[in-house]
């Protein structure tokens, strides 16, 4: 672990700071890339070109956007609740950033190897809700308030199926430590949880469709938790203008934006760690074959980022294909479909494990 390695010669506190900053090195370029990527993907899906001016095929467009956002005047409405208004974007970003602590990027780097890693992530992303509610309330804008209320309802209710699916996995592997979970899915693509994990025999054949369903459920619920279409009701631009961040501009708006994209990757990373083998390669490692051991963690990081970005791309793909649900239908999808189904899967899987 990187933390132990650094703290051995620098002491605990500097090591914590350094280890804590590492994800930032990843998130900011990722967010810049993801914004660009989203614009390009959407443009090509819509027979457009997307950004083409700044850099090769507009590659530097998002950097230009950030520069613009930095220069913008920071507008705070006079009727806004200023302290809350200022804290909200920071809190939102903190929530999504803190989630990265427990995500194993490769076998060599995990911010904090927590035994209840998954639960920690679920809990810490609750901070995002507080941030959104604060933003919605402090803006003193009816649209923001409606958006914030919707997002609170949505995120809270969608955490239930997420947790039940995680419970299902827990009943199979007996650990909530993401690092251990990833290690369990090593060596072979068919050891991934989506293919039933390390279970063998007839049970595996039964498990595969169940795990596929569980994967779909957790993918949908995490989609709802990061407020992406078809669950982007809190910021539904055609109804609520842009929901809780209607009143924000400049860097505060950029913080929300950054948090959204960081969140997108965070949930994709969780889904990857839980179901798609974490940082493990679907095939062998080049480093092992040619005998360079330090290459393996880098390869693992590549695979992790690749899977994460692939899932993020699917999120974008869905966003540019689907209309959005209505707020009551969103609840219907959660309470009438996802929760019973995830319970059913949980029941069957637990029975299978007992047998």
Partner 1 sequence: MIEMETTSTNLRTQEMVLNMGPQHPSTHGVLRLEIELDGELIVDVRPHVGYLHRCFEKHCEAMTYPQIVPYVDRMDYLAAMYSEIGYAVAVERLLGIEVPERVEYIRIIMGELQRIASHLVAVGTYGLDIGAFTPFLYCFRDREKILTLFEMTCGARLLYNYIWPGGVSHDLPPDFIRMTKEFLTEFKPTIVELNNLLSYNKIFIERTANVGILPLETAINYGVTGPNLRASGLKWDLRRDDPYSIYDRFDFEIPVGKGWHGTVGDCWDRYYLRMIEMEQSVRILEQAIEQIPEGDVTSAIPKRIKPVEGQIYTRVENPRGELGYFIVSKGGLQPHRVKVRAPSFVNLEILGELCKGHLVADVVAILGSIDIVLGEVDR
Partner 2 sequence: MKQYISNIYSALATVFIGMKITFKHLFVPAVTIQYPDVRVTLPGRVRNRLYVNMDDCIGCDQCARACPVDCISIETVKSVPGEDLGKTSNGKKKALWVTKFDIDIAKCCYCQLCVFPCPTECIYMTDVYEFSEFERENLVYSYITLTKDEVLEKKANFEKFEAEKAAQKAAPKPPAPEKPAPPQA
Binding interface with partner 2 (CB under 8 A): 41, 43-49, 52, 317-318, 320-322, 337
Min CB(23)–partner 2 separation in Å: 31
- Does the CA dihedral 256-34-229-227 come out positive or negative? negative
Min CB(245)–partner 1 separation in Å: 14
Question: 73 touches which of partner 1, partner 2, none (CB within 5 to 8 A by kind)?
Answer: none
Question: 229 touches which of partner 2, partner 1, none (CB within 5 to 8 A by kind)?
Answer: partner 1
Is 76 an interacting residue with respect to partner 1 (CB under 8 A)? Answer: no
Is 247 an interacting residue with respect to partner 1 (CB under 8 A)? Answer: no
Question: 239 touches which of partner 1, partner 2, none (CB within 5 to 8 A by kind)?
Answer: partner 1
Q: What is the 3-state secondary structure (H, E, C) of the chain?
A: CHHHHHHHHHCHHHHHHHHHHHHHHHHHHHHHHHHHHHHHHHHHHCCCCCCCCCCHHHCCHHHHHHHHHHHCCCCCCCCCCHHHHHHHHHHHHHHHHHHHHHCEEECCEECCCCCCHHHHHHHHCHHHHHHHHHHHHHCCCHHHHHHHHHHHHHHHHHHHHHHHHHHHHHHHHCCCCHHHHHHHCCCCHHHCHHHCCCCCCHHHHHHHHHHHHHHHHHHHHHHHHCCCCCCCHHHCHHHHCCHHHCCCCHHHHHHHHHHHHHHHHHHHHHHHHHHCCCCCCCCCCHHHHHCCCCHHHHHHHHHHHHHHHHHHHHHHHHHCCCCCCCHHHHHHHHHHHHHHHHHHHHHHHHHHHHC
The residue among 332 and 347 lying less far from partner 1, judged by its C-beta, is: 332
The residue among 111 and 230 lying less far from partner 1, judged by its C-beta, is: 230
Min CB(244)–partner 1 separation in Å: 15
Burial class (CB in 10 A: 0-12, 13-18, 19+), 237: exposed
Question: 82 touches which of partner 2, partner 1, none (CB within 5 to 8 A by kind)?
Answer: none
Question: 68 touches which of partner 1, partner 2, none (CB within 5 to 8 A by kind)?
Answer: none
Binding test (CB under 8 A) with partner 1, winner from 98, 99, 167, 236: 236
Min CB(333)–partner 2 separation in Å: 9
Question: 52 touches which of partner 1, partner 2, none (CB within 5 to 8 A by kind)?
Answer: partner 2
CA–CA separation, 278 and 304 (whole Å): 6
Min CB(124)–partner 1 separation in Å: 29
Beta bridge partners of 104: 110
Unique residue bearing structure tokens 């019973």: 340
Is 73 an interacting residue with respect to partner 1 (CB under 8 A)? Answer: no
Min CB(277)–partner 2 separation in Å: 24
Is 40 an interacting residue with respect to partner 1 (CB under 8 A)? Answer: no
The residue among 49 and 79 lying less far from partner 2, judged by its C-beta, is: 49
The residue among 169 and 233 lying less far from partner 1, judged by its C-beta, is: 233
Binding test (CB under 8 A) with partner 1, winner from 142, 292, 302, 336: 142
Question: 146 touches which of partner 1, partner 2, none (CB within 5 to 8 A by kind)?
Answer: partner 1
Min CB(139)–partner 2 separation in Å: 33
Is 307 an interacting residue with respect to partner 1 (CB under 8 A)? Answer: no
Read off φ and ψ for residue 158, nearest 5 degrees: -80, -10
- What residues make contact with partner 1 under the rule CB under 8 A? 42, 45-48, 142-143, 146, 229-230, 232-233, 236-241, 320-329
């Amino acid at each position: 672990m990187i933390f132990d390695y650094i703290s051995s010669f620098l002491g605990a506190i500097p090591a914590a700071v350094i280890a804590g900053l590492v994800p930032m090195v990843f998130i900011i370029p990722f967010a810049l890339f993801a914004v660009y990527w989203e614009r390009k993907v959407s443009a090509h899906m819509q027979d457009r070109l997307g950004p083409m001016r700044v850099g090769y095929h507009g590659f530097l467009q998002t950097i230009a956007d950030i520069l613009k956002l930095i220069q913008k005047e920071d507008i705070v409405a006079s009727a806004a609740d200023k302290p809350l208004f200022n804290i909200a974007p920071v809190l939102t970003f903190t929530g999504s950033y803190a989630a990265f602590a427990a995500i194993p990027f490769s076998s060599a780097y995990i911010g904090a190897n927590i035994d209840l890693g998954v639960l920690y992530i679920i809990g810490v992303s609750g901070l995002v809700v507080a941030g959104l509610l604060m933003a919605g309330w402090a803006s003193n804008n009816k649209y923001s308030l409606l958006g914030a209320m919707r997002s609170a309802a949505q995120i809270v209710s969608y955490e239930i199926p997420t947790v039940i699916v995680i419970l299902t996995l827990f009943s199979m592997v007996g650990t909530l430590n993401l690092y251990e979970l990833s290690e369990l899915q090593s060596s072979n693509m068919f050891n991934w949880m989506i293919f039933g994990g390390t279970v063998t025999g007839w049970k595996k054949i039964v498990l595969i469709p169940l795990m596929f369903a569980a994967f779909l459920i957790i993918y949908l619920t995490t989609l709802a938790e990061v407020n992406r279409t078809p669950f982007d009701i809190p910021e539904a631009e055609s109804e609520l203008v842009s929901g809780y961040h209607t009143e924000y501009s400049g860097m505060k708006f950029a913080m929300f934006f950054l948090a959204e994209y960081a969140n997108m990757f965070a949930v994709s990373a969780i889904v990857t760690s839980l179901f798609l083998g974490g940082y493990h390669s679907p095939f062998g490692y080049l480093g092992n074959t040619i005998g360079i051991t330090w290459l393996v963690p880098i390869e693992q990081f590549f695979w992790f980022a690749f899977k994460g970005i692939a899932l993020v791309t699917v999120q974008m793909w869905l966003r540019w294909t689907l209309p959005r649900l209505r707020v009551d239908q969103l609840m219907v999808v959660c309470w009438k479909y996802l929760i019973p189904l995830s319970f059913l899967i949980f029941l069957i899987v637990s029975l299978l494990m007992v047998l």
